[in-house]
Amino acid sequence: MKRRLRLRVGGIVQGVGFRPFLHRLARRYALAGWVRNTAAGVEGEVEGEPAALEAFARALRTQAPPLAVVEQVETELLPDPAGYAGFVIRPSAPGAGATLVSPDLAPCAACLRELNDPADRRYRYPFINCTDCGPRFSILRALPYDRANTTMAGFAMCGACAGEYAAIESRRYHAQPNACPVCGPRAFYCGPDGRPRPGDPIALAQRALAAGGIVAVKGTGGIHLACDARSETAVLRLRRRKRRPDRPLAVLCRDVATVRAFCRATPEELACLQSARRPILLLEKRDPDAWGFLSATARLGVLLPYTPLHALLADGTAGGPDALVLTSANAPGCPVLTENAPALAALADVADGFLLHDRPICNRCDDSVAMVWQGAPYFLRRSRGWAPQPVLLAAPAEGVLAFGAEQKAGFALGRGRHAFLSQHIGDLKNAETLDHYRAALKTYRQWFPVPLRRVVCDAHPDYLSTREAEACAAAAGVPLLRVQHHWAHMAACLADNKLAGPAFAFVWDGTGLGADGTIWGGECLVGDLRGYTRVGSVRPVPLAGGDAAVRQIGRIALALLLDAGLPPETAPVPPAQRPALAALLQSGLRCPRAGSVGRLFDGVYALLTGVGAVSYEGQGAERLEALARPQIPGREYPVEFYTQDGVRWLDTRPLVRALAADAAAGVPRAAAARGFLDALCAAALDQCRALNPGRLPVLLTGGVFLDRYLLENITRRLTAAGFTVYTHRRVSPGDEGLPLGQLAIGAAYDTE
């Protein structure tokens, strides 16, 4: 006896071939009915034999198209069949614009086969795609997701492409970016003078790379600079021209075999690397001392081609290299370039050639960066491949808009249980990045409209994000909530794990304004989404010149030595400056006090290595982690505490005295570095035992927990001691994750 089933599906189910998928599924199981888009996702009815309906519902959940994200499925068995004659796709329901947007994803296996098939009409076409893959977020101007609302609007489909687009059985049915060499976007190659060169643009770029040149390459979300990753000469030339002397560089590899020439990879890491999202993945080098010109650490960021153009560029057909450095094309501190003419002008003295195309980029989107932790991605940066896919919350955050902080800036918009997180923005320290921030926020608010109920920002009054939040709250006439930086980190980890609290949190980062006006960054907090108490921290030291000490890390080493009662002569600061800096530290003028694990890392690295300056924040921490080697046991260092003003402080003075003695005695740096890391792990366990007697869930959050050694070993020690430990899963533990925490606090602020 036939039965009828009503279904409602929520998630990313529009613009991803979901309705054709349901149509084909209905045919497979001989079912009749209909489907349409709604404001909430997709709804429909199917009728047929009960066993077929069960199989249909099961396949709907387990066999959805690759770009789809099925968040919820509701089914309702209706009393009688309606007598449908077949299956149809009905027009969208009114108000069907309130949907989700798919991120840009890598070409699927079927498209790659066609790309490399000389008999296929899309052979070596750099913009091949279908409903299962290709650009989405980067080309979208407005919703609904129709070709007219994308940057493909200027490319009229030829007859063959239009036929595929209209055919229900085609893999390109309603694929909005559908195109071919006859009607679609085209790539072209320009020389260093900016003038187009005749010939195959891919082959011209490959030859330039093989000759040691630097080529600007336009991808889906921005323009990169590329060179031969195996050529130290080419890489060092790129570093000089881009003014990026030390920061690690990512490597685009032709295939997994090429990845293995550089790095080791577990099955979980290979699965992440080959996924449709294609992040830059941090992998362990085969030889920790190799490829130092790419990365001075023991890990290397690698990725596989994430567009057809990149797949062609790395295939070596014209003698090009199989591994390419790929780094954003931008001025220091500014957003990645996206437009051809500005790139030709801005990179005239940097690039030796330009591999560009004529499909406009509407939404700038940098690469995502992750490592695999406990079998899943652990984000350093969540962007391409994930944005603007929302994070699902445990409770609604309707109408809350969070503005993040200054470094690794971003925002989060709440609609129902969805938190829409921005793509990577950068540090809000110049007009160009602020413009990018404003444009991205405007786009999100247009795509995911919701009346604002509350605006949330960091408590620091001087951040540009704070000023933007103030202006937004005033314009909308809604309350503004200022949230302490480290509480927001704690709340981000709670929301990331769909927890409400209470919990005990280690919030370790670089700098953030504390509730007492000092710089925090080594915090032990107890609380939930409605409040917190500071119960532990790291002994603060003054930073000579404030922000100047973040780059001139020898100043932090000097402060640590003086605080520990040691002579200042071993601090790596210019001898002529040492007396003045010591006097400045003793006076306290322009020397904000910082109890920060991130700054402690900087000072210890300077103390152990004699390096007094770094070119980017976090470099000291990265290099210190790299010094520690698993085969070299760490030194045993003292871990001591004292209590003052209701806070249990890690006393760094005995630790610094021991480190300084070992440095003076010539103890191997690897042993000292590992001993320092082990001391922090021991301190975490001691703090947790002393300050968390009720054994609340323990959270590890803040940018310091991008250090894999600390993440793994603190988790292991706490777990072995019987604590339940939560780390980040869906956002970065660093400042990029702050908007999620601010959003969760804003949503919980006035609830019962």
> What is the tens place of the pLDDT at every residue in 545-558?
988 999 999 999 99
User: Does pLDDT of 224 surpass 50?
Assistant: yes
Rounded (10°) angle between helices 652-665 and 597-609: 20
- 347 and 381, same domain (yes or no): no
Total number of domains in the chain: 4
Helix (H) or strand (E) holding 579: helix 578-587
396 in a structural domain: yes
**pLDDT grade for 677, boundaries at 50, 70 and 90:** very high
CATH number at residue 21: 3.30.70.100
One domain for residues 344 and 455: no
Lowest mean pLDDT among 118-122, 577-581, 656-660: 577-581
Residue 706 falls within a domain, yes or no? no
* Average pLDDT estimate for 597-607: 96
Q: Are residues 458 and 397 part of one domain? A: yes
Mean pLDDT of the 423-443 span: 95
Residues 193, 340 share a domain = yes
Whether 313 and 424 map to the same domain: the answer is: no
> Do 468 and 410 belong to one domain?
yes
pTM for the full predicted model: 0.92
* Per-residue confidence band for 118, with pLDDT thresholds at 50, 70 and 90: very high
Q: Return the closest-CA partner of residue 13 out of 41, 44, 45, 46.
A: 41
CATH, residue 662: 1.10.357.160
Residue 670 belongs to domain spanning = 539-640+651-677
Whole-number pLDDT of residue 101:
85
CATH assignment at residue 267: 3.90.870.10
- The per-residue pLDDT for 94 is 63
Final residue of a domain: which of 460, 483, 506? Answer: 483
- How far, in Å, CA of 547 to CA of 510, rounded? 11
Indicate the residue among 36, 62, 89 that finishes a domain: 89
Check whether residue 205 and residue 338 sit in a common domain: yes
Q: Residue 39: its pLDDT value, please?
A: 64
Assign 661 a pLDDT band (cuts: 50, 70, 90).
very high
> How many angstroms from the chain centroid is the CA of residue 313?
25
Residue 458 and residue 574 in one domain: no
| Same-domain check for residues 347 and 408 | no
Low-confidence winner among 114-118, 145-149, 392-396, 527-531 (lowest mean pLDDT): 145-149
SS3 228: strand
Is residue 109 predicted with pLDDT exceeding 90?
yes
Return d(Cα 140, Cα 101) in angstroms, integer.
9
Q: Is residue 379 part of a domain?
A: yes
- Span 9-33, mean pLDDT? 83
Residues 46/167, Cβ–Cβ less than 8 Å: no
Confidence (pLDDT) at 405: 96
Q: Where residue 15 falls among pLDDT bands split at 50, 70, 90? A: low
Residue 320: alpha-carbon gap to chain centroid: 30
Q: Are 492 and 514 in contact (CB under 8 A)?
A: no
pLDDT, mean of residues 25-49: 86
pLDDT given for residue 93 in this prediction? 72
How many angstroms from the chain centroid is the CA of residue 730? 9
Write the burial class of residue 632 (CB in 10 Å: 0-12 exposed, 13-18 middle, 19+ buried). middle
Rounded (10°) CA dihedral 487, 489, 491, 494: -140
Which residue, 54, 89, 124, sits at the end of a domain?
89
Is 747 a residue whose pLDDT tops 50?
yes
Per-residue confidence (pLDDT) for residue 562, from 0 to 100: 96
Specify if 634 maps to a domain.
yes
257: Cβ–Cβ under 8 A, 6 or more apart, which residues? none
* Strand 353-357 to 215-218 pairing: parallel
Mean per-residue pLDDT of the chain: 94
Residue 254 lies in a domain: yes
- Give the separation between CA 64 and CA 57, rounded to whole angstroms: 11
3-17, 638-652, 729-743: least confidently modelled range: 3-17
- Shared domain for 290 and 250, answered yes or no, is yes
Tell whether 117 is covered by a domain: no
Phi, psi of 164 (to 5 degrees): -65, -40
Residues 417 and 307 in one domain: no
Alpha-carbon torsion, ordered 664, 670, 676, 679, to 10 deg = -120
- Residue 661 burial by CB count (10 A; 0-12/13-18/19+): exposed, middle or buried? exposed
Most confident of 137-151, 329-343, 700-714: 700-714
Under the banding of pLDDT at 50, 70 and 90, the label for residue 751 is low
* Domain assignment of residue 293, yes or no: yes
For residue 412, the domain's CATH number is 3.30.420.360
For residue 596, being part of any structural domain is answered with yes
Which segments within 207-298 are labelled E, that is strand?
215-218, 223-228, 251-253, 280-284
Q: Is residue 338 within 8 Å of 222, Cβ to Cβ?
A: yes
545 and 631 assigned to the same domain: yes
Region 357-363 average pLDDT: 97
Q: How confident is the model at residue 752 (pLDDT cuts 50, 70, 90)?
A: very low
